[in-house]
Structure 1
């Protein structure tokens, strides 16, 4: 496939092909290939250190892969001119605007209110009308159950509330792809459910999502495709019913025995 964008409806939203990444001579990703179709929720599972979060960071080019390609709706991320010349910052920023990332540790600006956190990028990066963006942000806050926190600062929010603001902030950019990097791992157990509920509603509404998670229940109930990584490779992938009910590989059986039975 060329670097030229093609009609989005004709292809997968995300195509990852042959991604490799090493740190200090340690292979973290070893030829990973994966597709995410429009409207799919794909969950990346695996033990700590298996390469899941690094793969997500390669998708939005926070980490530059050593080899391989990442295509968003047919347009190559990070490289241009036949994959030889790196993209400039402005060109890369334009592509990143089409992806929304929800981080493990929220990454909210502490000096801005909830509403200001959500409207900052659409107003100053996308150059959209402030009144229009505010109206959309208020609707998003309503959708994630935080309309009453509009003028609160992050320091006044629980972890679950901060993560729901993070989701609303990502949605405010109207992304074609949502990336979730272990969005519940920094939360107290009693707060996990409120974030999972928002993610389930997004999936049911047809959002395209790539989710790194340890929440087996979410993957089993919500994912269209489950991908197990280990040692920087994909060792098994399939629909949740097949993966959880009849795993094909011994590694998947070992993983499920440890993490689902725990």
Structure 2
């Protein structure tokens, strides 16, 4: 099932929405310290895969393991109750496309809310760690600001810091730059690249090909809900094994050349 260093194991996961099969028998693992970038055309099932990993969308078939413990199903083979699911989700940090910050809380309060309310950790300790995380993402001067006063890039950096505040074993990123203006994308990618260099365990759905090529330890390429190809970025981007991946990369290259990527 899982090796000693394997943080995530996805085994035969499938998901349908009515007649539409979104994921079909998806299997892969993520070792501790890996950055796996999930690529593929729109509608290939990338975001649904992330939502299945933390059971925001329960899969119809297959199993998901976090550090060897099954996600979503308890020891009796039954679907976990909300409390047990919440306990597992505290170990999986998720950064969404549209920030998902609490608008009524300041930046600092957004970071502190989960560790205090969910993990029941001491407030003074949580505050010190939250301030350190804000420094890490370059937002120390925004600690008392409400999200409505932040740019999109600043909101996403707060979202990353908030996920880190829970000290997760695994970080999931669902197209974290897709809602940003082009000039704000770089500031978020810099933070994510730093996390990759630190050896954080991450699964990142992204359309940022240059970032994936530089930061990923492995590429997972999805098409029509299936894993078509997987391998190191240096091979995937220069010598893809499948015709489908070659077509995808060619469209990316054409878009980049014309300024549309």
* TM-score normalised per structure 1: 0.96
Question: How far does residue 61 in structure 1 lie from its aligned partner after superposition?
Answer: 0.2
Q: RMSD across aligned C-alpha pairs, in angstroms?
A: 1.0
Match of 1:69 among 48, 63, 67: 63
Match of 2:217 among 209, 213, 224: 224
1:188 aligned to 2:181?
yes
Question: Which 4+ stretches in 1 moved above 4 angstroms?
Answer: none
Q: Residues 146-184 of structure 1: CA distance to partner in whole angstroms, max 9, x if unpaired? A: 000000000110000000000000000000000000000
Match of 1:25 among 19, 24, 27: 19
1:250 aligned to 2:243?
yes
Corresponding residue SS for 2:64: strand
- Equivalent residue pairs, number: 255
Corresponding residue SS for 2:159: helix
1:207 aligned to 2:200?
yes
Question: How far does residue 218 in structure 1 lie from its aligned partner after superposition?
Answer: 0.6
- Please, which runs of 5 or more residues in structure 1 have no aligned partner? none
Partner of 1:129: 122
Match of 1:233 among 219, 223, 226: 226
Distance 2:28 2:66 in 1: 12
Q: Is the 8 A contact 1:17 1:68 kept in 2?
A: yes
* TM-score normalised per structure 2: 0.96
Corresponding residue SS for 1:63: coil
- Please, which runs of 5 or more residues in structure 2 have no aligned partner? 256-261
Distance 1:153 1:44 in 2: 32
Corresponding residue SS for 1:117: helix
Q: Residues 108-167 of structure 1: CA distance to partner in whole angstroms, max 9, x if unpaired? A: 011100000000000000000001000000000000000000000001100000000000
Match of 1:101 among 94, 107, 117: 94
Question: How far does residue 88 in structure 1 lie from its aligned partner after superposition?
Answer: 1.1
Corresponding residue SS for 1:237: strand
Q: Is the 8 A contact 1:216 1:260 kept in 2?
A: no
Q: Residues 23-78 of structure 1: CA distance to partner in whole angstroms, max 9, x if unpaired? A: 01110000000111100000000011000000000000000000000000000000
